[in-house]
């Protein structure tokens, strides 16, 4: 597991509800990774109501590591490369640039780079109603 703690921690920390302390504000966030493997984009409350997001770069053969969405739903937006969304150890959905994958609440999953180049994607996690 290379990066699972970042994404998994985003899922885990969303299980506690905290009202925003300050008024929410619209913003633009740069997703430039500057050679890093992980960049937090949105950190949840008080920055957002419940949404958390990050940009991830996986090298060939790397995976995030198995983790669970718990009470959250997740969207994976593939920007570059090829990979797979592995669901509950039973299903594998291919991922490629320009595609968006949805992972429902209470779903164990992993993202793995299946290509020869870098897999870049953005994940967005939000508390399910």
Q: So what's the pLDDT on residue 71?
A: 96
DSSP type of residue 63: B
Which sequence spans correspond to the domains of the chain?
4-21+36-127
Distance CA 26, CA 116 (A): 37
Question: Among 96, 120, 112, 124, which Cα is nearest to 34's?
Answer: 120
Write out pLDDT tens, residues 47-56. 999 999 999 9
CATH fold of 4-21+36-127 reads: Jelly Rolls (2.60.120)
Quick one: residue 35, left, alpha or beta (phi over 0 = left, psi -120 to 50 = alpha)? left
Distance CA 81, CA 73 (A): 23
The mean per-residue pLDDT over the stretch 34-46 comes to: 92
Report CA Rg, the chain.
14
Tell me what the pLDDT averaged over the chain comes to: 87
Neighbouring C-alpha atoms within 13 Å toward the C-beta of 83:
31
Residue 10 confidence (pLDDT) above 80: no
Q: So what's the pLDDT on residue 9?
A: 53
Write out pLDDT tens, residues 90-126. 899 999 999 999 999 999 999 999 999 999 999 999 9
Classified as helix, coil or strand, 9 is: helix
Indicate yes or no: pTM above 0.75: yes
């Amino acid at each position: 597991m290379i990066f699972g703690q970042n994404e998994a921690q985003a899922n885990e920390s969303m299980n506690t509800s905290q009202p925003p302390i300050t008024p929410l504000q619209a913003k633009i966030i740069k997703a430039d990774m500057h050679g890093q493997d992980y960049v937090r984009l949105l950190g949840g409350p008080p920055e957002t109501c419940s949404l958390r997001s990050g940009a991830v770069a996986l090298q060939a053969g790397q995976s995030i590591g198995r983790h669970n969405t718990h009470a959250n739903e997740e969207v994976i937006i593939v920007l570059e490369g090829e990979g797979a969304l592995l669901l509950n150890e039973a299903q594998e959905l291919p991922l490629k640039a320009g595609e968006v994958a949805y992972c429902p609440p209470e779903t164990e999953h992993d993202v793995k780079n299946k290509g020869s180049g870098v897999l870049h994607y953005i994940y967005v996690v939000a508390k399910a109603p």
